[in-house]
Amino acid sequence: MSLAHRIIPCLDTDGTRVVKGVNFVGLRDAGDPRALAARYNKEGADELVVLDIAASRDRRPTFLETIRRVAAELSIPLTAGGGIQTLEDGRAVVRAGADKVTVNTAAVARPELISELSREFGAQAVVLAIDAKRNGRHWDVMVRGGRESASRDVVEWAREGVSLGAGEILLTSVDRDGTQIGFDTELTREISEAVTVPVIASGGAKLPKHFVDIFKEGAADAALAASIFHDGVQPIRALKEFLFKNGVEVRWPC
Amino acid sequence: MKVTIIDYGAGNVPSVERALERLGAESERTSSPEDISRAQALLLPGVGHYSALARALDEQNLRAPLVEALRRGVPFLGICLGLQVLFESSAESPEMHGLSLLAGKVCALPSNVKLPHMGWNQIAMNRESQLLAGIDPSVYFYFAHSYAAPDSNGSTSATCFHGTSFAAVVEERNIYGVQFHPEKSGEAGSRLLHNFLRLAA
């Protein structure tokens, strides 16, 4: 009996529709968030993440409506984010039905945002999303959708985020994102061992073996992917069965 | 029968409402002492900091009507913090008082494991449980917490392990509590809520 490793589908949206792209560019439509949420809830996903990757202020109400529609389909936890800049933004997302809020660029600019959210909703509701890009022997924190370097070390920022009250790290390898060559196990292990909170690995997944590797080699607590689930390339139930048979503790059958 | 959900501002109230609605149960949310005194069945969801719940009980004058209703035998289900507040106090805010309906103090989980204890875990059933009736013992429930109630308590019917063993399900006459979130625990959670509704009917 121990904590299961989680499989988390991610819905990257433009506020309304699920979109997909490689290395954060070249977006195309990939479906209705509510329909996908209902499917993943039924197929045994352990949680769901929904992000507003456009994150424009004037389209915020549309995204909040998307969160409400997605939440109504779920009997599993929901994390939402993208463009969260203030405590009030976080409140709106929680009120719309999210259990957890992710913060990224705005938290790098103003780290107190993490403490403000954590004080109000508890550490378990605050997910610090970090986009990491390799730079020699280190990884740099990237902001603005992975396009700009914040000139900060990922390990150091992860530790600071946790000390400020983040209850989880959503770690995306910008180098691997969209490549489908596998998660960055080295990056993930380094962060997972550096912090006391769970780490969700993201970026680069395609094959079931990639998930075995990220749990066994990368010490991830959860693994996130998007298009391989949306396209039906990797059904969740079959993935969990594969993990189970390869000695990874998962919630299966589910 | 209608379930009265005590709404002190916790984030998980809407998902509890939706979970009850899917089971065909009627519910109302309230923060009024009068509604609590009149309730046929009570549900206290909770998530976040212990002090927010303990403070809300005092500031909104909910403590006395709640304790009185539970002593009178009104069926009660506490979720997460709603379980923790049944005990005497919590190390998360030692200066505040719990409801002291169950003996023992809520403690921090040990720091040699990742915290919060977040995700799906299995539970071990100690004894016959009405809440867990008909639920496969190997199922997983969704947890999200860093503090937990002691499993040494006589009312513990199932335990969970994360760094240490703690109370996952408590049952004492009409008082039920679960440390995990049944409203987020898929089929297994739905079945547990169904059991509570049947017990409360």
- Is the CB of residue B156 less than 8 Å from the CB of residue B126? yes
User: What is the ipTM, given to two decimal places?
Assistant: 0.94
Q: In what order do the strands lie in the sheet with B147-148?
A: B89-90, B105-108, B147-148
Provide the number of structural domains found in chain A.
1
Neighbour-count burial for A213-239, b at 16+ CB within 10 Å, e otherwise:
bbbeebbbbbbbbbbbbbeeebebeeb
**Looking at the domain assignment, is residue A250 inside a domain?**
no
**Looking at the domain assignment, is residue A60 inside a domain?**
yes
Cα–Cα distance for residue pair B113/B117, rounded to 1 Å: 8
A205 phi and psi angles, rounded to 5 deg: -80, 140
pLDDT tens, residue by residue, A155-211: 999 999 999 999 999 999 999 998 999 999 999 999 999 999 999 999 999 999 999
Question: Residue B124 belongs to what H/E stretch?
Answer: strand B124-125
* Amino acid (1-letter code) at residue A198: P
Fold assignment, B2-200: Rossmann fold (3.40.50)
**Are A168 and B142 within 8 A, CB to CB?**
no
Instruction: Answer whether residue B68 shows pLDDT above 90.
Output: yes
CA distance A105 to chain B (A): 23
Cα–Cα distance for residue pair B175/B188, rounded to 1 Å: 20
**Looking at the domain assignment, is residue A1 inside a domain?**
no
Question: Pairing state of beta strands A138-143 and A126-135?
Answer: antiparallel
Cα–Cα distance for residue pair A67/A171, rounded to 1 Å: 22
Nearest to B48 among A41, A121, A254 (CB): A121
Dihedral sign, Cα of residue A76, residue A79, residue A80, residue A86: positive
CATH number assigned to the domain comprising residue A64: 3.20.20.70
Cα–Cα distance for residue pair A239/B189, rounded to 1 Å: 23
Catalytic residue among B17, B80, B117, B171: B80
DSSP state of B110: P
- Which tokens hold the place of B182? 């049944």
DSSP bridge pairs for B30: B6
- Is the CB of residue A144 less than 8 Å from the CB of residue A24? no
Asked if A73 has any chain B CB less than 8 Å from its own CB, the reply is no
Mutate to test the interface with B, among A7, A124, A128, A196 (most CBs of B within 10 A): A124
Catalytic residue among B17, B92, B171, B183: B183
**Looking at the domain assignment, is residue A251 inside a domain?**
no
Q: What is the pLDDT along chain A (254 residues), one digit of tens a residue?
A: 689 999 999 999 999 999 876 545 556 677 899 999 999 999 999 999 999 988 777 778 899 999 999 999 999 999 999 999 999 999 999 999 999 999 999 999 999 999 999 999 999 999 999 999 999 999 999 998 888 999 999 999 999 999 999 999 999 999 999 899 999 999 999 999 999 999 999 999 999 999 999 999 999 999 999 989 998 889 999 999 999 999 999 998 76
